[in-house]
Structure 1
Amino acid sequence: MAKIYIKDLGEYIPGKFNSMTLDKLKEFVIVPYHIAWYKSSQSKKVFPLFVQEISDLNPTNFVVPGILTRNPFFDHSQIKYFIAYMGDKPAGRIMAFIDYNYNIQHNTETGWFGLFESTDNKEVAFELMDKAAKYLSDNRCKKIIGPAKFNAGGEIGCLVSGYENKPYFMEPYNAPYYKDYFEDMGFAKENDWYSMNTDELLAGRYMEKIERLHSRINGTRRDISTTNGFFIRNVNFKNMKKEIRAIRILYNEIWNSINHPQQPEMTEKEFDILAAGIKAVALEDLIFIVEKENEPVGVSVSIPDINEVISEYDGRGASSGSSFSYNPSRHFFSAKDFKRDFQIYSNIQKRLRQKNFSGVRFLILGIKEPYRKTGLDASLYYRTFRTAKDLGFKHGSGSQLADINTDIINPMFKLGKRSMTWRVYNFTL
């Protein structure tokens, strides 16, 4: 068996040090393509666009206008990337990072690990985690949690059930043996996150109940854009700067609670980058703001499941159980990999113009206090689900839902059933 070598790929400390390059980021991003389980017929893995993944992980000032951006998360976070090699072949990866904003907001000394990957080899997994834990301990962290990219505002947790289900866009998916590795390392459960999958049949009875309720109150079964002085409207993409500001304020207020663990307040720059990414794959029809006397009090953001397009391009479409064989270049400026990204993105834009998707991900759905549990929640759920149905969507996923957030779990599971569970682990350093 080839010797295991852990490569210190690079590090970034805001305002002090950077050893990362675009080629190093690309080397890190392509590691999952070398994990054998993802190439099997059992896997439902969907690989992201290279440029988008590198932009998410990019702490440097190396940008390509209109193509590659820098993630402002790194304005307040330091990070180190590691790759495991067996001989000359990638065998795993991990990133270790410290979010200083999170630690200040939560009065903690916590470090994180994320984007963990490993071949089915316990020694590789343990050596990677040892590297990450030592880095965080050397930087005065007392606790490590993960996996995450980079918190609950991104992709959170290790998939521990639901491997047979295809992930929707921005839902984590990993090999089934990872959970065993984390438990063998001594990690304990911090909390779980769920996905709720629904379709017309599952959601139908709940939506009929809401229609009957509004019929008694408003004398109509369909027009529920107004209720008790509230107004539910679509966003206007032509006025996105104002709309993004309103959604960011709502997001930080609604999600800044014990019901939303691993969720720090997002900075303006962070939210602008997130919103730009969502807008590129969104429909105005599926984004709503709830207002009372022109004050935003609630928000719903849903996006078409663009994983449908990626899967079709990569040969894992709706009917596929086939293996996966794409082999990317380790260099950032790769014509082959840029071609893949461009063709997938072009197909996404074509499908958006046609409104031709079967799946939708319910990404953000929340109401400010004191308006929760007043019936406004149900009206917003109804408007979101009814619009998705009218647009021709056949199924959807509401995720990621924290296990302690019963305010959203209870109504969402009336609309569907649990499909996936992700676990966040912790370890005392």
Structure 2
Amino acid sequence: MQCEAPNSQYAEVDVRPVNTRGDLRRFITLPRHIYKGMEGFVSPLDMEQRHLLSPKESPVFRHAEIQYFLAWRDGRPVGRIAAIVDHKAIEHWQEVIGQFGALDAIPEKGIVSSLLQAVEDWFRKRQISKLRGPVTLSGNAETGTMVEGQLSAPMIAIPWHPKGLDALIRESGYETAQNLLSYRLDLDSNTEERFKVPGNLRLGQGRLSSITTRDLSKKEITTQGEVLRKLYNDAWSHKYNFVPMQDYEMTAMIEQIKPLLRPEHYVQIDQNGEPVAMAMVLPNLYDIAGDLGGSPSPLGWMRLGYRLATHKFRSARVILLGVSSKMRGTMLGSLLPSLAIVELMRRGHTLPYRWVELGWVLESDTGMRNLAESLVPHPHKTHRLYEKNLLS
């Protein structure tokens, strides 16, 4: 499977629903074929993509109706897209909004517009007139179209798209709804010193004597995961495009990332024994798998196993950062995100990371942006969510 030759770019594009096992396999692996050779692209593992997209593995299918489509030209797939009716999202938003996702395509107008038209027709048949996306397949997973940062180092659970895809989506009538910003924080001996918490407050000391922290325990990870899920849902419930994470989604996520985790990767902050804030950092899988391709050889899998066992990571991503809703508007509540990040930094001295990615952060979330930009003035990646009203 290869990109089309330039002289075939004006050939007819045929968009068809994915109905067979073979087409599902093509759908899951498509990005590494159509983006191969594009500057900045590093192929994710097929295994990782199956966790996201396979109906047998992705927990999203338990509460969402999803239809995949492939765009074909000259007998070869050149793009993909998903139409998603997420009933948990609609219940939370109290508004019927359809979502599209897993949008990857050779960046040509005929291909992108044909894919978007296919999902629009699918939604019209279901009397759904407002669309939002892209998500893969939920706002709790890969989100947005990459607008800036194609040449930056790849990061786990952050999608990559070629330049030009954003413009083609907007040309199809989709308006920018939110930008999602990611910040690269290079770690050195002065990082913690540069990041000052007002009053040099420290957890468990002085005015914060009632505040304690908990580490990640692999023996108790299932119980801790449920605490994390409830705190995450509470902390993010008012954010744009938020969808409550279900218990089975958290279970699936823990099973997937458990081999990557160490106690230093998680900070839970309690006040008088009650969870009020949390932060989690996840090692960057691309560090140990980026040179192996999407489908490693047996030797490649052996290399991956060794690198995982010896924690050969150079970078990581802060994937969860939140504060309980009851702390909003309080002085302590405004300090907790900073305190959680500082605590991660202190623990991170035992880890080999040279840099971490903070993100994504909603462009409209001034509190989190101020926190990130106190460390890093400008984002190094931007992703975008769009909306379209089919009745306009």
Is the structural similarity TM-score above 0.5? yes
Matched, 1:302 2:274: no
Identify the residue that residue 59 of structure 1 maps to in structure 2: 55
Q: Give the distance between the partners of 2:337 and 2:299, measured in 1 at CA.
A: 39
Whether contact under 8 Å (2:281, 2:318) holds in the other structure is yes
CA deviation after TM superposition for structure 1 residue 167, in Å: 2.3
Identify the residue that residue 376 of structure 1 maps to in structure 2: 336
Matched, 1:354 2:310: yes
Structure 1 residue matching 2:277: 3-state secondary structure: strand
Structure 2 residue matching 1:265: 3-state secondary structure: coil
Aligned residue among 140, 158, 170 for 1:153: 140
2:271 maps to a residue whose letter is: K
Aligned residue among 182, 194, 217 for 1:206: 194
Matched, 1:4 2:13: yes
Structure 1 residue matching 2:292: 3-state secondary structure: helix
Q: Give the distance between the partners of 2:299 and 2:283, measured in 1 at CA.
A: 18
Structure 1 residue matching 2:380: 3-state secondary structure: strand
Aligned residue among 264, 276, 281 for 1:285: 264
Whether contact under 8 Å (1:197, 1:396) holds in the other structure is yes
Identify the residue that residue 125 of structure 2 maps to in structure 1: 138
1:51 maps to a residue whose letter is: M
Q: Deviations over 1:375-415 (max 9, x none)?
A: 33322110112222442311110111111222211111112
Q: Give the distance between the partners of 1:216 and 1:274, measured in 2 at CA.
A: 29
Structure 2 residue matching 1:355: 3-state secondary structure: coil
Aligned residue among 384, 391, 398 for 2:358: 398
> Pairwise mapping of residues 13-32 of structure 1 onto structure 2 (< 5 A)?
21=21, 23-32=22-31
Identify the residue that residue 318 of structure 1 maps to in structure 2: none
Q: Give the distance between the partners of 1:409 and 1:301, measured in 2 at CA.
A: 18
Q: Give the distance between the partners of 2:260 and 2:86, measured in 1 at CA.
A: 28
> 5+ residue gaps in structure 1?
11-19, 61-69, 220-225, 315-327, 329-336
> Pairwise mapping of residues 16-415 of structure 1 onto structure 2 (< 5 A)?
21=21, 23-35=22-34, 37-40=35-38, 42=39, 44-60=40-56, 70-200=57-187, 203-207=191-195, 209-210=196-197, 213-214=200-201, 218=205, 227-257=208-238, 260-314=239-293, 337=295, 339-340=296-297, 346-371=302-327, 373-374=331-332, 375-415=335-375
Q: Deviations over 1:343-379 (max 9, x none)?
A: 6665455334333321111111112134354233322
Q: Give the distance between the partners of 1:130 and 1:113, measured in 2 at CA.
A: 11
Whether contact under 8 Å (1:96, 1:113) holds in the other structure is yes
Whether contact under 8 Å (1:203, 1:414) holds in the other structure is no
CA deviation after TM superposition for structure 1 residue 214, in Å: 3.5
Q: Give the distance between the partners of 2:114 and 2:370, measured in 1 at CA.
A: 40
Matched, 1:423 2:379: no
How many percent of aligned residue pairs carry the same amino acid? 20
* Distance change in 2, residues 1:161/1:269 (3 Å): same
Aligned residue pairs total: 375
1:8 maps to a residue whose letter is: P
* Distance change in 2, residues 1:82/1:118 (3 Å): same
Whether contact under 8 Å (1:302, 1:364) holds in the other structure is yes
1:383 maps to a residue whose letter is: E
Structure 1 residue matching 2:69: 3-state secondary structure: strand
Q: Give the distance between the partners of 1:348 and 1:71, measured in 2 at CA.
A: 23
Q: Give the distance between the partners of 1:363 and 1:348, measured in 2 at CA.
A: 22
* Distance change in 2, residues 1:206/1:151 (3 Å): farther
CA deviation after TM superposition for structure 1 residue 172, in Å: 1.2
1:28 maps to a residue whose letter is: F
1:39 maps to a residue whose letter is: G
Q: Give the distance between the partners of 2:302 and 2:346, measured in 1 at CA.
A: 28
Q: Give the distance between the partners of 1:287 and 1:90, measured in 2 at CA.
A: 41
2:209 maps to a residue whose letter is: N
Q: Give the distance between the partners of 1:355 and 1:216, measured in 2 at CA.
A: 28
Whether contact under 8 Å (1:304, 1:361) holds in the other structure is yes
CA deviation after TM superposition for structure 1 residue 154, in Å: 0.5
